[in-house]
Structure 1
Amino acid sequence: MVEAHETHVIVGAGLAGAKAAETLRAEGFTGRVILVGEEREAPYERPGLSKGFLTGAASRDDLFVHDSHWYTEHDIELRIGDPATRLDRQSRTLQLADGTVLTYDKLLIATGSAPRTLDVPGIDLGGVHYLRKLPDAERLRASLQTLGRENGRLLLVGAGWIGLEVAAAARGYGAEVTVVEPQPTPLHGVLGPELGEFFARLHEDRGVHFHFGAGVTEIEGEDGMVLAAHTDDGDEHPAHAVLIGIGAAPQTALAEAAGLALAPREEGGGIAVDSALRSSDPDVFAAGDVAAAEHPLFGRRLRVEHWANALNGGPAAARSMLGQPVVYDRVPYFFSDQYDLGLEYSGYAAPGSYDHVVVRGDAGKREFIAFWQDPAGRVLAGMNVNVWDVAGGIQQLVRSGRPIDPDRLADPAIPLGEL
C-alpha cells in the first residue's frame, strides 16, 4: 500500500526507468512512484528493434519489460504519452505536456538518446527511416519485407552497430543492401581498423555492398518516394528505402533548461553525474544513455549507450535515490547479432587509447576473442565472437588492470582465469 510521505518521479519510461521503478519497490520504498514517458507504449527493451523483432524472430510482446498489469500491481503510476516539459528545481516540480504539475522529493532523469539526423535534400521523402522507437521498427520491418519480395534496394547511411544489424536483417529478407560510410571500415571509431575489416568481410560475404570514404549529400525522389542517394564523391546509388544510422545524441533538453551540469562533448555529452549517479542537484539523478557518469575503474567520465547500462544503471540510481551507498562501476557491456554471428563486448577502448589488438582463436572461422591492450599491456576491452561463457572472465581481466603478456593472452590453451 502506498504511503504518500514521499514521491519519487522517474522521467523516461524505457528500460532504465522501468528497472528503477521496480528497484524502488523491491528495496521497500512505500511512497509514490511516478513513471513519466514520452512514448505511448509501456516500457520496452530496444535491442530487439534492430535484432529479433526486426528479423521476425521475436514478437512485439517479447519487447516489453513488464506485462500490462505489473505497474498497477506494484502501485507505480505510469503516465505514458505525456512527456515532461519543464523541471523547476527550486520548487521541486515537474510539468507535463498536458499541464499537470508533479511535486517530487527525488527525481531520476532517464530520457535516453535520440537518433542524430541527416540534413540533406530529400530527407523527408517517403521511405527514409530512422530506428529508435517501436513504431520505427514496425515501419522498417514492413519496408524490408516489401523490399525482399520485390528485389528492392536498401541504402544504409552509417556502418555502426545499428547499420550492420539492419543490413543483416535486410539480407535475411532478400533485399539488396548498400552501406555508405565516411570511415574506411565499419565500426571504425568503436573497434578500430583491425576488427572493422573483419565486419566488412562478414557482410560482403553475405552480399552487402560498402561504399567507404563518402557521405550522402542528397536523397533523390520521384512521386514523393526514394529513388536514389548521391554521395560527395559523385556516385549515385539506386535505392527504394534509406535508413539513417549515424549515431545518437543524449536527450538533455529538460536537464539543460533546468540548469543541471552537462558533460563536455569529449566525455560524450549527457547529464554529468558522479559515481552514485547524482547530478549537480543532490535531489536529481540520471541513468541510462543520458547519463555521463564518473567511472572509478577508467578514471574518467563515461556515457554508455547500451542495453546493459540501462539494465544496471536504473537500479543503481534507484538505490542512490533511497540514500544507499552506491558506486556504479560496471564494466561497459553490449552484444550484437548479425547473421549466424553473435558477439559480446566488454570494456572501453577509445580510439587512440590502445596500442594493439590481440586475437585468441580463429578469426577466419569467426570463432575468436579479441583483446585491446594499452602500451603497458593492460586489457582495456575484449570482444568474444561466437565464443561463449567468457564475458565474465574478460571483464575480470579489464577490472584487474594488470599487464598481461600478449602471447599468453593469445594462447587458447591458457584459461582466461589463469591470466
Structure 2
Amino acid sequence: MIRERERLEGTPERDLALDCVEAGIRAADPERAIGEVVSLEGDRLSVEDASYDLDEYEEVVVLGGGNAGGRMASAIEGVLGERISRGVVVTDAPEETERIEVLPGDHPVPSERGVDSTRRMLELADEAGEETLAVVLISGGGSALMPAPAEGVSLEALQEVTEALLASGAEIGEINAVRKHCSAFKGGGLARRAAPSTVVSLIVSDVIGNDLSTIASGPTAPDATTFADAREILDRYGIDPPEAIAERLERGANGEYEETPDAEDPVFDRVDNHVIADGFSALEAARDLARERGYEPLILSTSVRGEAREAAKTHVAIAEEVRRTGNPIEPPAVVCSGGETTVTIRGEGTGGPNQEFALSAALELREREGIALASVDTDGIDGASDAAGALVDGTTVSDPETARAALAENDAYPCLAERDALIETGATGTNVNDLRVLVVATPEASR
C-alpha cells in the first residue's frame, strides 16, 4: 500500500507506525465494510438490522459516489450481482464493474466532467419509481466529486462562492448551508430526486461525529438550514456572491424555490441511512495491531480538530509524558488519533494538514529518541498534493530554521520530500479522514 516503503523504514518505531497506518486504511476499505454488514440470502437483502425483500421491487438501482465510490460499487456488485438493474457512481478512484457505470469526477476541486457525471446519475434517480430499490453509495469527497449546480447556477459561480467562504473562516456547516441551497444534489436533494423509491444508503464517513447532513453534504439526509440562512451567512462574512447565486438565494428566501427537505419531509419516509465505516474503524485496527505487537495502545480521540501545527505539539507532549512518566499509559505504547485538522493559508507553498502536522511534530521531536509519528489522510491525498502525509521522528529535522520557514509559507511538502519523509499511497479507494499514529519506545529501548 505505501509506495517505496523501504525508504521510510529503519527503526522499530518507524516500522510499526507504517504497519498501523496500513492496517487502519485497510480496515476502512469499503469492500470489507460492505462484506461485513450487507448480505443476500435468497431474495432477502440485509443491511445491519434492516432487511428488504427483493421480490417486492421491480428493479434495483445503484446511485451515488465519493472517494470510495468505485470500491463500494465493486463490493455491492459482489453481493447483488445480476440483481442490479443499472447504476451510476461518480468517483476519482475507478474500479472495474459490470452492471454499474463508474463515471469520473475530480477532488478536491470540482470539475465540469464531475458535473456531467452527476447529471447522468441524477437522471437515473429521476427514473426511479415506487417499486424501485435505490442502493445509494456515499463517501467522503462526494461534495467535490458530485457537483450539481442548481438551475441557473454555473460551476464557476459555485467555485467562486465556496473559495470566498473558505477564505472567510466560515465553519463547514455554514459553507454547506450555502452549497446545499445552490445544488440539485446536496441537502437531501438525491433522496428527493429518487422518491418515491425505497432508498438504502451505505455511507463511509469522513466527518467527526458522523453527521449525516455533512457527509458529502448529505444527499440522502434531512437539511435543517434554509435559503434565508444561506443568505445571512454570506452577509455575516461580507461575501458578495456571483449574481446568479445572490438571485437564487433571494428568490428562495421569498418562497419562489422549494426549500431543501427537512426531517419532517415525507421524502424521508422510505429512506434508511447506514454508516458502515468511519474514522473509528481505522483507529480500532491500528490499536489492535499495536496490542498484537506487545505495545500498550491508546485511542486518544476520533475528533481532533483545529490548526494542524498546534495539534501536533499536543500530540508530541503526550508522547513525551508517556515516555517519561508512564502516564496515561506505560511504554512501549502506541497513541492513535483521528479527526480533521485544518490549515490557515498564509503562504503559497505545497502541502496539506497532515504534512503540516508532521513537520510541526518533527520540530518538537528534534534530537529526541524513541518516538515516531505517522500522519496521513486516509484517502491518500493530503491537501492538493500527491502525498497522503508523512512519517517523522527525532532525525527528520536537521535545520529547524528551514522547517519553520516552510511552515510559515505552508510549504511542508518539499521540506519533507527532501528528508524522505513523505508517505505516498495513491488514491486508496476510501476516505475516513485523518489517521495519526504515535509510537513510543521504552527509555531503555533507545539507549
Q: When the two structures are superposed, what TM-score results if normalisation uses the length of structure 1?
A: 0.31
Query: Per chain length, whose mean CA-contact separation is higher, i.e. which structure has more relative contact order (CA < 8 Å, sep 6+)?
Result: 2
Point out the structure with the larger helix share. 2
Point out the structure with the larger strand share. 1
Q: When the two structures are superposed, what TM-score results if normalisation uses the length of structure 2?
A: 0.29
